[in-house]
Structure 1
Amino acid sequence: MPIILSIETSTKGCSAAIHQDGKLLSISEIYNEKSSSGMLTTLIQHVVKTAGLTYESLDAIAVAKGPGSYTGLRIGVSTAKGLCYTLDKPLISVNTLEAMAYAISDFRILNEESTSFDLLCPMLDARRMEVYCAIYNAYTQEQVEETQAKIIDENSFNEILQKKKVLFFGDGASKCRSTLGQNPNALFLETTLNPSAKSVGILATNVFERGQFENVADFEPFYLKEFMATTAKVK
Protein backbone atom coordinates (compact mmCIF):
# COMPACT_ATOMS: atom_id res chain seq x y z
CA MET A 1 0.00 0.00 0.00
CA PRO A 2 2.29 2.80 -1.23
CA ILE A 3 2.01 6.27 0.26
CA ILE A 4 2.82 8.86 -2.40
CA LEU A 5 3.27 12.61 -2.22
CA SER A 6 2.28 14.22 -5.53
CA ILE A 7 3.22 17.68 -6.78
CA GLU A 8 1.61 19.62 -9.64
CA THR A 9 3.02 22.96 -10.88
CA SER A 10 2.46 22.84 -14.64
CA THR A 11 0.44 26.06 -14.83
CA LYS A 12 0.08 29.28 -12.84
CA GLY A 13 -1.32 27.31 -9.91
CA CYS A 14 0.11 24.53 -7.81
CA SER A 15 -1.16 21.64 -5.74
CA ALA A 16 0.09 18.85 -3.52
CA ALA A 17 -1.65 15.64 -2.47
CA ILE A 18 -1.10 12.48 -0.48
CA HIS A 19 -2.47 9.15 -1.72
CA GLN A 20 -2.30 5.77 -0.03
CA ASP A 21 -2.86 2.83 -2.35
CA GLY A 22 -4.50 5.23 -4.81
CA LYS A 23 -6.92 6.69 -2.28
CA LEU A 24 -6.73 10.41 -1.55
CA LEU A 25 -5.77 11.22 2.04
CA SER A 26 -5.23 14.97 1.73
CA ILE A 27 -4.93 17.66 -0.90
CA SER A 28 -4.12 21.35 -0.93
CA GLU A 29 -4.20 23.55 -4.02
CA ILE A 30 -4.08 27.18 -5.00
CA TYR A 31 -4.54 28.83 -8.38
CA ASN A 32 -3.23 32.33 -8.89
CA GLU A 33 -0.31 34.08 -10.51
CA LYS A 34 3.16 33.09 -9.31
CA SER A 35 1.78 30.67 -6.71
CA SER A 36 4.20 27.83 -7.48
CA SER A 37 7.33 29.37 -6.05
CA GLY A 38 5.69 31.06 -3.09
CA MET A 39 3.31 28.39 -1.82
CA LEU A 40 4.47 24.94 -2.91
CA THR A 41 6.51 24.14 0.18
CA THR A 42 3.67 25.31 2.41
CA LEU A 43 1.17 23.12 0.54
CA ILE A 44 3.44 20.09 0.86
CA GLN A 45 3.87 20.61 4.59
CA HIS A 46 0.10 21.01 4.95
CA VAL A 47 -0.87 17.79 3.17
CA VAL A 48 1.70 15.70 5.04
CA LYS A 49 0.47 17.08 8.37
CA THR A 50 -3.22 16.78 7.45
CA ALA A 51 -2.73 13.14 6.46
CA GLY A 52 -1.18 12.48 9.88
CA LEU A 53 2.09 11.35 8.34
CA THR A 54 5.78 12.17 8.45
CA TYR A 55 8.02 12.66 5.46
CA GLU A 56 9.82 9.43 6.35
CA SER A 57 6.58 7.45 5.95
CA LEU A 58 6.33 8.36 2.26
CA ASP A 59 7.16 5.64 -0.24
CA ALA A 60 7.68 7.87 -3.29
CA ILE A 61 7.47 11.41 -4.63
CA ALA A 62 5.46 12.01 -7.82
CA VAL A 63 5.55 15.09 -10.00
CA ALA A 64 3.67 16.30 -13.07
CA LYS A 65 6.49 16.45 -15.60
CA GLY A 66 4.80 18.68 -18.19
CA PRO A 67 4.22 20.08 -20.66
CA GLY A 68 3.31 23.44 -19.23
CA SER A 69 4.86 26.56 -17.78
CA TYR A 70 8.66 26.50 -17.99
CA THR A 71 9.06 28.20 -14.63
CA GLY A 72 6.35 26.16 -12.93
CA LEU A 73 7.74 22.84 -14.16
CA ARG A 74 11.26 23.77 -13.12
CA ILE A 75 10.08 24.60 -9.60
CA GLY A 76 7.98 21.46 -9.26
CA VAL A 77 10.64 19.09 -10.53
CA SER A 78 13.39 20.75 -8.50
CA THR A 79 11.29 20.45 -5.35
CA ALA A 80 10.44 16.79 -6.06
CA LYS A 81 14.07 15.91 -6.74
CA GLY A 82 15.18 17.69 -3.58
CA LEU A 83 12.74 15.65 -1.51
CA CYS A 84 13.87 12.44 -3.18
CA TYR A 85 17.51 13.18 -2.39
CA THR A 86 16.80 14.23 1.18
CA LEU A 87 14.45 11.36 2.03
CA ASP A 88 16.08 8.72 -0.22
CA LYS A 89 12.77 8.05 -1.98
CA PRO A 90 12.10 7.10 -5.62
CA LEU A 91 10.81 9.65 -8.14
CA ILE A 92 7.75 9.11 -10.33
CA SER A 93 6.75 11.37 -13.21
CA VAL A 94 3.32 11.74 -14.81
CA ASN A 95 2.43 13.53 -18.05
CA THR A 96 0.37 16.60 -17.18
CA LEU A 97 -2.07 16.12 -20.06
CA GLU A 98 -2.62 12.47 -19.19
CA ALA A 99 -3.48 13.47 -15.63
CA MET A 100 -5.96 16.05 -16.96
CA ALA A 101 -7.60 13.42 -19.18
CA TYR A 102 -7.95 11.11 -16.20
CA ALA A 103 -9.50 13.90 -14.12
CA ILE A 104 -12.29 14.59 -16.62
CA SER A 105 -14.45 11.86 -15.06
CA ASP A 106 -15.09 14.25 -12.15
CA PHE A 107 -16.80 16.64 -14.56
CA ARG A 108 -19.15 14.21 -16.31
CA ILE A 109 -22.80 15.33 -16.20
CA LEU A 110 -25.57 12.82 -15.41
CA ASN A 111 -27.28 13.34 -18.76
CA GLU A 112 -25.02 11.11 -20.84
CA GLU A 113 -26.85 11.90 -24.08
CA SER A 114 -25.99 15.58 -23.90
CA THR A 115 -22.38 14.97 -22.91
CA SER A 116 -21.52 12.02 -25.15
CA PHE A 117 -18.02 12.25 -26.63
CA ASP A 118 -15.49 9.81 -28.02
CA LEU A 119 -12.18 11.53 -27.42
CA LEU A 120 -10.61 13.85 -24.86
CA CYS A 121 -8.26 16.68 -25.81
CA PRO A 122 -6.70 18.43 -22.80
CA MET A 123 -5.14 21.74 -23.79
CA LEU A 124 -2.67 23.97 -21.98
CA ASP A 125 -2.18 27.53 -23.14
CA ALA A 126 1.15 28.20 -24.87
CA ARG A 127 1.58 31.41 -26.87
CA ARG A 128 -0.82 33.21 -29.19
CA MET A 129 -2.91 30.48 -30.90
CA GLU A 130 -0.60 27.68 -29.83
CA VAL A 131 -1.48 25.03 -27.26
CA TYR A 132 0.09 21.95 -25.73
CA CYS A 133 -2.31 19.10 -26.34
CA ALA A 134 -2.82 15.36 -26.71
CA ILE A 135 -5.81 13.17 -27.52
CA TYR A 136 -7.07 10.26 -25.43
CA ASN A 137 -9.86 7.72 -25.78
CA ALA A 138 -12.66 8.92 -23.48
CA TYR A 139 -13.45 5.42 -22.24
CA THR A 140 -10.13 3.59 -22.07
CA GLN A 141 -7.79 6.58 -21.47
CA GLU A 142 -5.56 5.16 -24.21
CA GLN A 143 -3.52 7.82 -25.98
CA VAL A 144 -4.69 8.40 -29.56
CA GLU A 145 -2.39 11.30 -30.49
CA GLU A 146 0.88 12.05 -28.75
CA THR A 147 1.65 15.18 -26.78
CA GLN A 148 2.48 18.06 -29.09
CA ALA A 149 2.68 21.83 -29.42
CA LYS A 150 -0.02 22.73 -31.94
CA ILE A 151 -0.95 26.01 -33.60
CA ILE A 152 -4.74 26.10 -33.87
CA ASP A 153 -6.52 27.18 -37.06
CA GLU A 154 -9.80 26.34 -38.77
CA ASN A 155 -8.31 23.11 -40.17
CA SER A 156 -7.01 21.76 -36.86
CA PHE A 157 -8.31 18.28 -35.92
CA ASN A 158 -10.41 18.17 -39.13
CA GLU A 159 -9.77 14.50 -39.84
CA ILE A 160 -10.68 13.42 -36.32
CA LEU A 161 -13.68 15.74 -36.01
CA GLN A 162 -15.19 14.30 -39.19
CA LYS A 163 -15.58 10.95 -37.44
CA LYS A 164 -15.51 11.52 -33.68
CA LYS A 165 -16.85 13.87 -31.04
CA VAL A 166 -13.99 15.50 -29.15
CA LEU A 167 -14.18 17.25 -25.77
CA PHE A 168 -11.67 20.09 -25.55
CA PHE A 169 -10.80 21.40 -22.09
CA GLY A 170 -8.09 23.06 -20.04
CA ASP A 171 -6.87 26.65 -19.95
CA GLY A 172 -5.86 26.48 -23.61
CA ALA A 173 -9.28 25.41 -24.88
CA SER A 174 -11.14 28.70 -24.41
CA LYS A 175 -9.08 30.58 -26.98
CA CYS A 176 -9.72 27.79 -29.50
CA ARG A 177 -13.48 27.82 -29.17
CA SER A 178 -14.16 30.52 -31.76
CA THR A 179 -11.96 28.68 -34.27
CA LEU A 180 -13.04 25.08 -33.64
CA GLY A 181 -16.51 25.59 -32.16
CA GLN A 182 -18.30 25.76 -35.52
CA ASN A 183 -17.84 22.02 -35.91
CA PRO A 184 -20.73 20.16 -34.21
CA ASN A 185 -18.35 17.41 -33.12
CA ALA A 186 -16.16 19.89 -31.21
CA LEU A 187 -17.39 20.10 -27.62
CA PHE A 188 -16.02 22.35 -24.88
CA LEU A 189 -16.09 21.94 -21.12
CA GLU A 190 -17.80 24.95 -19.61
CA THR A 191 -15.68 24.77 -16.45
CA THR A 192 -11.92 25.31 -16.63
CA LEU A 193 -10.19 22.14 -15.54
CA ASN A 194 -6.81 22.86 -13.97
CA PRO A 195 -4.11 20.21 -13.63
CA SER A 196 -4.21 18.76 -10.11
CA ALA A 197 -2.05 16.62 -7.87
CA LYS A 198 -5.19 14.59 -7.18
CA SER A 199 -5.12 12.82 -10.54
CA VAL A 200 -1.30 12.82 -10.65
CA GLY A 201 -1.27 10.77 -7.45
CA ILE A 202 -3.73 8.18 -8.75
CA LEU A 203 -1.73 7.62 -11.93
CA ALA A 204 1.50 7.61 -9.93
CA THR A 205 0.19 4.70 -7.85
CA ASN A 206 -0.08 2.60 -11.01
CA VAL A 207 3.44 3.61 -12.04
CA PHE A 208 4.74 2.71 -8.57
CA GLU A 209 3.24 -0.77 -8.80
CA ARG A 210 5.03 -1.29 -12.13
CA GLY A 211 8.31 -0.12 -10.59
CA GLN A 212 8.84 2.55 -13.24
CA PHE A 213 10.94 5.12 -11.43
CA GLU A 214 12.96 8.02 -12.82
CA ASN A 215 16.68 8.52 -12.44
CA VAL A 216 16.65 11.39 -9.97
CA ALA A 217 20.04 12.75 -11.03
CA ASP A 218 19.23 12.95 -14.74
CA PHE A 219 15.50 13.67 -14.75
CA GLU A 220 14.36 16.89 -16.41
CA PRO A 221 10.88 18.36 -16.97
CA PHE A 222 9.08 17.62 -20.22
CA TYR A 223 9.22 21.17 -21.56
CA LEU A 224 8.18 20.09 -25.09
CA LYS A 225 9.57 23.36 -26.43
CA GLU A 226 12.73 25.26 -25.68
CA PHE A 227 12.31 28.18 -23.31
CA MET A 228 12.08 31.46 -25.24
CA ALA A 229 13.35 34.29 -23.05
CA THR A 230 12.57 37.88 -23.93
CA THR A 231 14.88 40.76 -23.12
CA ALA A 232 14.23 44.45 -23.24
CA LYS A 233 16.39 46.59 -25.48
CA VAL A 234 18.55 49.11 -23.69
CA LYS A 235 18.48 52.52 -25.32
Structure 2
Amino acid sequence: MSCILNIETSTDVCSVAVSNDGECIFNQEDHNGPRHAVKLGVFVDEALSFIDSHAIPLDAVAVSCGPGSYTGLRIGVSMAKGICYAREAKLLAVPTLELLAVPLLLDEKIAEEDALLCPMLDARRMEVYAGIYTRGLQPVRAVGADVVDGETYRDFLNENLVYFFGNGAEKCMEVIAHPNARFVKGVEPLAKNMMPLSEKAMAQERFEDVAYFVPFYLKDFVAKTSKPVL
Protein backbone atom coordinates (compact mmCIF):
# COMPACT_ATOMS: atom_id res chain seq x y z
CA MET A 1 0.00 0.00 0.00
CA SER A 2 1.02 3.63 -0.44
CA CYS A 3 0.60 7.12 0.93
CA ILE A 4 -1.47 9.21 -1.47
CA LEU A 5 -2.48 12.86 -1.26
CA ASN A 6 -5.95 13.23 -2.82
CA ILE A 7 -7.12 16.59 -4.22
CA GLU A 8 -10.69 17.36 -5.37
CA THR A 9 -11.65 20.75 -6.89
CA SER A 10 -14.01 19.90 -9.76
CA THR A 11 -17.08 21.63 -8.27
CA ASP A 12 -17.67 24.38 -5.68
CA VAL A 13 -16.40 22.07 -2.92
CA CYS A 14 -12.68 22.07 -2.14
CA SER A 15 -11.33 19.01 -0.35
CA VAL A 16 -8.01 17.32 0.43
CA ALA A 17 -7.44 13.91 2.01
CA VAL A 18 -4.48 11.65 2.69
CA SER A 19 -4.70 7.88 2.53
CA ASN A 20 -2.04 5.60 3.94
CA ASP A 21 -2.20 1.83 3.67
CA GLY A 22 -5.89 2.06 2.78
CA GLU A 23 -6.84 4.30 5.72
CA CYS A 24 -7.83 7.96 5.63
CA ILE A 25 -5.41 9.72 7.99
CA PHE A 26 -6.17 13.35 7.07
CA ASN A 27 -9.23 15.14 5.67
CA GLN A 28 -10.22 18.77 5.14
CA GLU A 29 -13.25 20.11 3.28
CA ASP A 30 -14.68 23.51 2.41
CA HIS A 31 -18.31 23.56 1.27
CA ASN A 32 -18.66 27.34 1.11
CA GLY A 33 -17.05 27.82 -2.28
CA PRO A 34 -15.97 28.14 -4.84
CA ARG A 35 -12.89 29.22 -2.82
CA HIS A 36 -10.28 26.88 -4.24
CA ALA A 37 -7.69 29.62 -4.73
CA VAL A 38 -7.99 30.49 -1.03
CA LYS A 39 -8.49 27.13 0.65
CA LEU A 40 -6.60 24.55 -1.42
CA GLY A 41 -3.13 25.81 -0.56
CA VAL A 42 -3.99 25.88 3.13
CA PHE A 43 -5.39 22.34 3.08
CA VAL A 44 -2.42 20.98 1.13
CA ASP A 45 0.07 22.65 3.46
CA GLU A 46 -1.71 21.13 6.46
CA ALA A 47 -1.78 17.71 4.79
CA LEU A 48 1.93 17.76 3.92
CA SER A 49 2.81 18.97 7.40
CA PHE A 50 0.80 16.08 8.85
CA ILE A 51 2.58 13.58 6.60
CA ASP A 52 6.01 15.00 7.45
CA SER A 53 5.32 15.12 11.18
CA HIS A 54 4.55 11.39 11.09
CA ALA A 55 7.59 10.62 8.92
CA ILE A 56 5.43 9.11 6.17
CA PRO A 57 6.91 9.20 2.66
CA LEU A 58 4.51 10.58 0.05
CA ASP A 59 4.22 8.18 -2.89
CA ALA A 60 1.66 9.85 -5.14
CA VAL A 61 -0.74 12.74 -5.62
CA ALA A 62 -4.20 11.96 -7.00
CA VAL A 63 -6.32 14.69 -8.52
CA SER A 64 -9.90 14.68 -9.74
CA CYS A 65 -9.52 15.09 -13.50
CA GLY A 66 -13.03 16.10 -14.56
CA PRO A 67 -15.30 16.79 -16.14
CA GLY A 68 -15.77 19.81 -13.95
CA SER A 69 -15.25 23.53 -13.47
CA TYR A 70 -12.45 24.96 -15.62
CA THR A 71 -11.12 27.16 -12.84
CA GLY A 72 -11.44 24.50 -10.15
CA LEU A 73 -9.75 21.78 -12.19
CA ARG A 74 -6.96 24.13 -13.29
CA ILE A 75 -6.19 25.07 -9.70
CA GLY A 76 -6.31 21.46 -8.49
CA VAL A 77 -4.16 20.04 -11.27
CA SER A 78 -1.62 22.85 -11.01
CA MET A 79 -1.28 22.20 -7.29
CA ALA A 80 -0.96 18.45 -7.83
CA LYS A 81 1.75 18.90 -10.45
CA GLY A 82 3.71 21.26 -8.23
CA ILE A 83 3.69 18.77 -5.36
CA CYS A 84 4.75 15.94 -7.69
CA TYR A 85 7.71 17.93 -8.94
CA ALA A 86 8.76 19.05 -5.46
CA ARG A 87 8.32 15.67 -3.79
CA GLU A 88 9.20 13.45 -6.76
CA ALA A 89 5.81 11.78 -6.38
CA LYS A 90 3.69 10.01 -8.98
CA LEU A 91 0.64 11.74 -10.47
CA LEU A 92 -2.70 9.88 -10.56
CA ALA A 93 -5.92 11.00 -12.27
CA VAL A 94 -9.37 10.11 -10.91
CA PRO A 95 -12.43 10.67 -13.16
CA THR A 96 -14.90 12.90 -11.35
CA LEU A 97 -18.03 11.02 -12.40
CA GLU A 98 -16.61 7.72 -11.13
CA LEU A 99 -15.67 9.47 -7.90
CA LEU A 100 -19.28 10.58 -7.43
CA ALA A 101 -20.37 6.93 -7.41
CA VAL A 102 -17.98 5.81 -4.66
CA PRO A 103 -20.02 6.82 -1.57
CA LEU A 104 -23.13 5.08 -2.91
CA LEU A 105 -21.19 1.88 -3.45
CA LEU A 106 -19.33 2.02 -0.15
CA ASP A 107 -22.52 2.71 1.83
CA GLU A 108 -24.33 -0.07 -0.03
CA LYS A 109 -27.17 2.29 -0.92
CA ILE A 110 -27.73 0.37 -4.15
CA ALA A 111 -28.95 -3.15 -3.50
CA GLU A 112 -29.88 -4.23 -7.01
CA GLU A 113 -27.06 -6.07 -8.77
CA ASP A 114 -28.15 -5.01 -12.26
CA ALA A 115 -28.81 -1.35 -11.40
CA LEU A 116 -27.05 1.32 -13.43
CA LEU A 117 -25.43 4.46 -12.05
CA CYS A 118 -25.75 7.85 -13.72
CA PRO A 119 -23.61 10.52 -12.02
CA MET A 120 -24.38 14.03 -13.27
CA LEU A 121 -22.60 17.35 -13.13
CA ASP A 122 -24.68 20.48 -13.60
CA ALA A 123 -24.30 22.62 -16.70
CA ARG A 124 -26.47 25.43 -18.00
CA ARG A 125 -30.26 25.16 -18.12
CA MET A 126 -31.28 21.52 -18.61
CA GLU A 127 -27.84 20.38 -19.71
CA VAL A 128 -25.72 17.99 -17.65
CA TYR A 129 -22.48 16.09 -18.11
CA ALA A 130 -23.17 12.46 -17.34
CA GLY A 131 -21.95 8.92 -17.76
CA ILE A 132 -23.66 5.60 -17.20
CA TYR A 133 -21.91 2.81 -15.31
CA THR A 134 -22.52 -0.61 -13.86
CA ARG A 135 -22.13 -1.16 -10.13
CA GLY A 136 -18.57 -2.23 -10.88
CA LEU A 137 -17.96 1.20 -12.49
CA GLN A 138 -17.67 -0.30 -15.94
CA PRO A 139 -18.85 2.29 -18.49
CA VAL A 140 -22.09 1.44 -20.25
CA ARG A 141 -22.13 4.76 -22.08
CA ALA A 142 -19.31 7.25 -22.43
CA VAL A 143 -19.40 10.62 -20.70
CA GLY A 144 -21.54 13.00 -22.67
CA ALA A 145 -23.16 16.41 -22.63
CA ASP A 146 -26.89 15.69 -22.34
CA VAL A 147 -29.82 18.03 -22.74
CA VAL A 148 -32.23 16.28 -20.40
CA ASP A 149 -35.85 15.60 -21.24
CA GLY A 150 -38.18 12.70 -20.64
CA GLU A 151 -36.60 10.63 -23.42
CA THR A 152 -32.89 11.16 -22.71
CA TYR A 153 -32.29 7.98 -20.70
CA ARG A 154 -35.42 6.04 -21.59
CA ASP A 155 -33.59 3.16 -23.31
CA PHE A 156 -31.61 2.47 -20.14
CA LEU A 157 -34.59 3.01 -17.85
CA ASN A 158 -36.72 0.58 -19.81
CA GLU A 159 -34.22 -2.19 -19.06
CA ASN A 160 -32.81 -1.37 -15.60
CA LEU A 161 -33.15 0.68 -12.48
CA VAL A 162 -31.01 3.78 -12.93
CA TYR A 163 -29.70 5.82 -10.00
CA PHE A 164 -29.18 9.52 -10.75
CA PHE A 165 -27.01 11.62 -8.44
CA GLY A 166 -24.61 14.56 -8.35
CA ASN A 167 -25.30 18.27 -8.55
CA GLY A 168 -26.95 17.87 -11.95
CA ALA A 169 -29.49 15.28 -10.87
CA GLU A 170 -31.87 17.30 -8.71
CA LYS A 171 -32.95 19.60 -11.53
CA CYS A 172 -33.87 16.51 -13.57
CA MET A 173 -36.12 14.89 -10.99
CA GLU A 174 -39.40 16.14 -12.43
CA VAL A 175 -38.28 15.70 -16.03
CA ILE A 176 -37.19 12.06 -15.76
CA ALA A 177 -40.56 10.65 -14.70
CA HIS A 178 -39.93 6.94 -15.16
CA PRO A 179 -40.76 4.20 -12.62
CA ASN A 180 -37.20 2.84 -12.84
CA ALA A 181 -35.57 6.20 -12.05
CA ARG A 182 -34.07 6.62 -8.58
CA PHE A 183 -32.58 9.90 -7.30
CA VAL A 184 -30.03 10.23 -4.51
CA LYS A 185 -29.59 13.73 -3.09
CA GLY A 186 -26.55 15.31 -1.49
CA VAL A 187 -23.82 13.40 -3.34
CA GLU A 188 -20.69 15.50 -3.88
CA PRO A 189 -17.23 14.66 -5.20
CA LEU A 190 -14.95 14.58 -2.13
CA ALA A 191 -11.26 13.81 -1.74
CA LYS A 192 -11.88 11.31 1.06
CA ASN A 193 -13.90 9.18 -1.38
CA MET A 194 -11.09 9.15 -3.95
CA MET A 195 -9.12 6.56 -2.00
CA PRO A 196 -10.47 3.35 -3.61
CA LEU A 197 -9.94 4.78 -7.08
CA SER A 198 -6.54 6.37 -6.46
CA GLU A 199 -5.24 3.27 -4.70
CA LYS A 200 -6.40 1.12 -7.61
CA ALA A 201 -4.65 3.44 -10.08
CA MET A 202 -1.52 3.27 -7.95
CA ALA A 203 -1.60 -0.52 -7.79
CA GLN A 204 -2.04 -0.72 -11.57
CA GLU A 205 0.72 1.87 -12.10
CA ARG A 206 -1.58 4.12 -14.14
CA PHE A 207 0.62 7.17 -13.72
CA GLU A 208 0.15 10.43 -15.62
CA ASP A 209 2.89 12.45 -17.27
CA VAL A 210 3.36 15.34 -14.87
CA ALA A 211 4.54 17.71 -17.60
CA TYR A 212 1.79 17.09 -20.14
CA PHE A 213 -1.27 15.96 -18.20
CA VAL A 214 -4.38 18.13 -18.64
CA PRO A 215 -7.80 17.57 -17.01
CA PHE A 216 -11.12 17.00 -18.73
CA TYR A 217 -12.36 20.59 -18.94
CA LEU A 218 -16.06 21.02 -19.64
CA LYS A 219 -15.38 23.83 -22.10
CA ASP A 220 -13.04 21.58 -24.10
CA PHE A 221 -15.61 18.79 -24.06
CA VAL A 222 -18.27 21.11 -25.43
CA ALA A 223 -15.92 22.36 -28.15
CA LYS A 224 -15.07 18.82 -29.25
CA THR A 225 -18.62 17.49 -29.27
CA SER A 226 -20.69 20.44 -30.44
CA LYS A 227 -21.90 20.36 -34.04
CA PRO A 228 -21.03 23.34 -36.22
CA VAL A 229 -23.79 25.84 -36.85
CA LEU A 230 -24.73 25.90 -40.55
TM-score for the superposition, normalised by structure 2: 0.89
- Within the alignment, does 1:204 sit opposite 2:201 as a pair? no
* Unaligned segments of structure 2, at least 5 residues: 223-230
* Unaligned segments of structure 1, at least 5 residues: 229-235
**Is contact 2:69–2:218 with CA below 8 Å preserved after alignment?**
no
Specify the SS of the correspondent of 1:179. Answer: coil
**Is contact 1:9–1:36 with CA below 8 Å preserved after alignment?**
yes
Specify the SS of the correspondent of 1:144. Answer: strand
Mapped to 1, the partners of 2:87 and 2:54 lie a distance apart of: 11
**Is contact 1:92–1:212 with CA below 8 Å preserved after alignment?**
yes
Aligned twin of 1:82: 82
CA deviations over 1:124-170 (Å, ceiling 9, x no partner)? 111111111111112x2222111111111111101000010101001
Aligned twin of 1:184: 179
Mapped to 2, the partners of 1:103 and 1:134 lie a distance apart of: 16
Specify the SS of the correspondent of 1:155. Answer: coil
- Within the alignment, does 1:132 sit opposite 2:126 as a pair? no
CA 151–213 in structure 1, closer or farther in 2 if over 3 Å, else same? same
CA deviations over 1:15-74 (Å, ceiling 9, x no partner)? 001011222111111112222111011112233444564797200111000001111001
* Matching of residues 141-156 of structure 1 within 5 Å: 141-156=137-152
Mapped to 2, the partners of 1:93 and 1:53 lie a distance apart of: 26
Aligned twin of 1:92: 92
Aligned twin of 1:6: 6
Identity of aligned residues (%): 41
**Is contact 1:101–1:136 with CA below 8 Å preserved after alignment?**
no
Aligned twin of 1:31: 31
TM-score for the superposition, normalised by structure 1: 0.87
**Is contact 1:16–1:28 with CA below 8 Å preserved after alignment?**
yes
Specify the SS of the correspondent of 1:153. Answer: coil
Stretch deviating more after TM superposition (213-222 or 101-110)? 101-110
Mapped to 2, the partners of 1:65 and 1:109 lie a distance apart of: 25
Taking only aligned residues, the RMSD between alpha carbons, in angstroms, comes to: 2.2
Mapped to 2, the partners of 1:186 and 1:220 lie a distance apart of: 34
User: What is the aligned residue count?
Assistant: 222
Aligned twin of 2:228: none
Amino acid at match of 2:47: V
Stretch deviating more after TM superposition (147-156 or 72-81)? 147-156
Mapped to 2, the partners of 1:227 and 1:46 lie a distance apart of: 34
Per-residue deviation, 1:210: 1.1
**Is contact 1:148–1:224 with CA below 8 Å preserved after alignment?**
no
Stretch deviating more after TM superposition (151-160 or 101-110)? 101-110
Specify the SS of the correspondent of 1:27. Answer: strand
**Is contact 2:162–2:182 with CA below 8 Å preserved after alignment?**
yes
CA 82–54 in structure 1, closer or farther in 2 if over 3 Å, else same? farther
Amino acid at match of 1:218: Y
